[in-house]
Amino acid sequence: MKRSTVNKLLRRFLSPLLWIAVWELIALCVDREVLVPTPLRVAVRLWELVQTASFWTVVAFSILRITAGFLAGVLLGTLTGVLTAKLPLSEGLLSPLLTVIRATPVASFIILALVWMGRDAIPVFISFLMVFPIMQSHVQTGVRAVSPQLLEMARVYRVPPTRRVKALYVPAVLPNFSAGCRTCLGLAWKAGVAAEVISLPMRSIGRQLYYSKLYLETVDVFSWTVTVVVLSLLIEKLLRAVLLRLTKGGERG
């Protein structure tokens, strides 16, 4: 068998199986379901959950909240990134705000958000806060990476602004934009679910996690955590596919 095929097999199946075996071993050593349930027990519980309508409602609402925050962060971060790259004054103005957002612990923001807004909006807001500064910085770097020599060429040849954006800016910004999106998606999920755990909106994965913990239903905590991981991976795959199409389109101008 070819070395690359072995590596692929190892990464796809053997490696996850190894870690599930490690989990099983730990569960057997601890031998208390309330501390560490076995993978099989979690799988059975997850199977029970996915057969209920409420599971899908909870998942759908969490996806909706976190995706809304993620998209708002991507949109505003991109616009702000372009602005700060082109207008140094705006970078000076926004820099303190961005530094504060980056440096403040997410828990502080969640607690403040509890005071400021309704519980349904908190995960959206928190996901947005995680995504916004990272996208701003990635897009700003991308816009600044556009070759000044090519911009001069476009100026001499009086290339219209829309064509300049398509031919010069989009190809330069897209790699940074894609990298930013991929980084932010994981962060948005982690912070969004954390916000749900604290703010307890109705029909949310965070609420399920919180009540599972409260009643020491560790199997449920594990099942919902597995759900979050699987959702995060699936959405990341979807995002990768979208970004790949965008990048290919962008490179062709």
The correct pick among 71, 76, 150, 200 for binding another protein (CB under 8 A) is: 150
| Minimum CB distance to another protein, residue 142 (Å) | 13
48 binds another protein (CB under 8 A): no
| Closest among 74, 76, 249, 104 to 179, alpha carbons compared | 74
**H or E segment to which residue 22 belongs:** helix 15-30
# residues contacting another protein (CB under 8 A): 18
- Whichever of 130 and 170 has its CB closer to another protein, that residue is 170
- Whichever of 153 and 216 has its CB closer to another protein, that residue is 153
Distance (Å, rounded) from C-alpha 220 to C-alpha 213?
Answer: 8
| Minimum CB distance to another protein, residue 42 (Å) | 48
The correct pick among 149, 161, 214, 215 for binding another protein (CB under 8 A) is: 149
* Contact status, residue 121 vs residue 64, Cβ threshold 8 Å: no
* Contact status, residue 48 vs residue 217, Cβ threshold 8 Å: no
Site string for another protein, 165-184 (x = CB under 8 A): --xx--x-------------
The correct pick among 153, 229, 238, 241 for binding another protein (CB under 8 A) is: 153
How many Cβ atoms sit within 10 Å of the Cβ of residue 33?
16
**The amino acid at 143:** V
* Contact status, residue 198 vs residue 186, Cβ threshold 8 Å: no
Q: Which residues bind another protein (CB under 8 A)?
A: 149-150, 152-159, 163, 167-168, 171, 250-253
